[in-house]
Amino acid sequence: MKISDLDLSRIPTHIAAVMDGNGRWAESRKLPRTEGHTAGEQSLMDVLEGADDLGVKWFTVFAFSTENWARPSEEVKFLLNFNEKILLERRDELNERNVRIRFIGRRNRQVPRRLIRRMEETENLTKGNTGLTFTIAFNYGGRAEIVDAVKRIIDEGMSAERINEKTISRHLYDPTIPDPDLVIRTSGEYRVSNFLLWEIAYSELIFSETLWPDFRREDLFTAVKEYQDRDRRYGGVSET
């Protein structure tokens, strides 16, 4: 699939991705699981560039979930260092591409201080950029996000009768992010796995059989084509 095969007037504004299948990719090659994550970095950079070329304005990835702490400690350690390494190695080139980098998730004591510092530095470095906004969900869980939103609403002393859907949306980790139009999950897993639960109420979900380390911009374009062939009705009826 190429960009010219797509309807450029109907490009999703926000695409979110669950980069799944790194472990299986490595295991099928008799490599340690961590090699799959390493290979996934190339996919991420290629897909981000493809999204930017397509004119996508917001791209969000699930980098580390609140459930990922339960993995073997060696893999957790690897993933923490790996995320830091990607940030350090890639933020300058993303900055040059006018990409604004943001993070969503719990920045609590579970997350190493140094990584939180790197996140803050990266957000500051890129905050003035006007191109694609790349949001990294780190120590993120959809239910945790809703719980954290409810806690803050209560802390602010809001009365129950004033609370509506907009109130919840305004108290999410980053209320400026529009809801995703399209969510892609790779590796043939047909689950949402606690990703952006509130935000995906009306998103189109596309599941790809491709393992994340094999996923490239052409696969992104294929998903966008499928998205364009769907009929989004938001609970209403079609115009045609």
- Closer to ligand FPP by CB, 149 or 180: give it: 180
Residue 61 interacts with ligand FPP (CB under 6 A): yes or no? yes
* 95 in active site: no
Catalytic site includes residue 68: yes
66 binds ligand FPP (CB under 6 A): no
Q: Is residue 86 close enough to count as binding ligand FPP by CB under 6 A?
A: yes
For every residue of the chain, DSSP letters joined together read --GGGS-GGG--SEEEEE---HHHHHHTTT--HHHHHHHHHHHHHHHHHHHHHHT--EEEEEEEETTGGGS-HHHHHHHHHHHHHHHHHHHHHHHHTT-EEEEES--STTS-HHHHHHHHHHHHHHTT--S-EEEEEEEE-HHHHHHHHHHHHHHTT--GGG--HHHHHHTSS-TTSPPPSEEEE-TT----TTSSTTTTTT-EEEE-SS-GGG--HHHHHHHHHHHHHS---TTS----
Give yes or no for residue 80 binding ligand FPP (CB under 6 A): no
Residue least distant from ligand FPP (Cβ)? 23
Kindly indicate which of the ranges 20-28, 103-111, 190-198, 220-228 contains the residues binding ligand FPP, using the contact rule CB under 6 A.
20-28
Q: How far is the CB of 60 from ligand FPP (least distance, A)?
A: 10
Residues in 166-225 that interact with ligand FPP by CB under 6 A: 187
Q: Which residue ranges make up the site for ligand FPP (CB under 6 A)?
A: 19-24, 37, 40-41, 44, 61, 63, 68, 83, 86-87, 136, 187
